Amino acid sequence: MIDTLKDIVGDSHVLTGTDMGKYSHDFTRSYAWTPLAVVRPANTDEVAAIVRLANDSKTAIVPVSGNTGLAGGARADGAIMLSLERMNAIREIRPDARIAIVEAGVVLSTLREAAEEHGLIFPLTFGAQGSAMIGGNLSTNAGGSNVLRYGNTRDLVLGVEAVLPTGEVVDLMSELHKDNSGYNLKHLLIGAEGTLGIITAAVLKLVPKPGAYATAMVAVPALDQALGLLNRLQQATGGAVEAFEYMPRSYIEQHLKTIDGAREPFEAPHEVNILVELGATAPRDTQPGPDGRAPIAAYFEDILAEFFEDGAILDAVVAQNEAQRREMWERREAAAEVTLSRQPIQNNDVAVPLDQVATFLDRANIMLGRVDPGSTAMVVSHLGDGNVHYAVWPKSQDPERMDAIMEGVEDIVLDLGGSFSAEHGIGTSKLPSMARRKNKPALAAMRAIKTALDPNNIMNPGKVLPPEN
Q: Is the pTM of this model over 0.85?
A: yes
> Among 431, 452, 310, which residue's Cα sits nearest to residue 31?
431
Residue 469: is its pLDDT beyond 80? no
Do 367 and 264 lie in one domain? The reply is: no
For residue 454, how far is the Cα from the chain centroid? 26
Q: Which of 335, 350, 370 is the last residue of a domain?
A: 335
Q: d(Cα 46, Cα 170) in Å, to the nearest integer?
A: 15
CATH number, domain at 397? 3.30.70.2740
Q: Which residues contact 135 (CB under 8 A, 6 or more apart)?
A: 63, 65, 84, 104, 105, 198, 199, 200
What's the mean pLDDT in 194-211? 98
pLDDT one-digit tens code per residue, 360-381:
999 999 999 999 999 999 999 9
Contact criterion met (CB below 8 Å) for 312 and 357: no
Q: Which of 83, 100, 129 is the last residue of a domain?
A: 83
Strands 80-83 and 61-64: parallel
Contact criterion met (CB below 8 Å) for 295 and 286: yes
Question: Distance of CA 29 to CAs 26, 67, 195, 319, 340, Å?
Answer: 5, 11, 22, 36, 10
Cβ-based neighbour number of residue 90 at 10 Å:
17
Do 297 and 223 lie in one domain? The reply is: yes
Cis bond leading into 344, ω under 30°?
A: yes
Q: d(Cα 160, Cα 157) in Å, to the nearest integer?
A: 8
Do 109 and 164 lie in one domain? The reply is: yes
In 151-286, which ranges are continuous DSSP H helix? 185-189, 226-237, 249-258, 283-286
Q: Residue 360 has what pLDDT?
A: 98
Structural domain containing residue 174? 90-208
Q: Residue 376 has what pLDDT?
A: 96
Do 224 and 172 lie in one domain? The reply is: no
pLDDT one-digit tens code per residue, 216-270:
999 999 999 999 999 999 999 999 999 999 999 999 999 999 999 999 999 999 9
Angle at 291 between CA 288 and CA 297, to 5 degrees: 55
Q: d(Cα 113, Cα 122) in Å, to the nearest integer?
A: 9
Share of the chain above pLDDT 90, in %: 93
Q: Is residue 456 part of a domain?
A: no
Structural domains in the chain (count): 4
Do 198 and 291 lie in one domain? The reply is: no
Q: Is residue 132 part of a domain?
A: yes
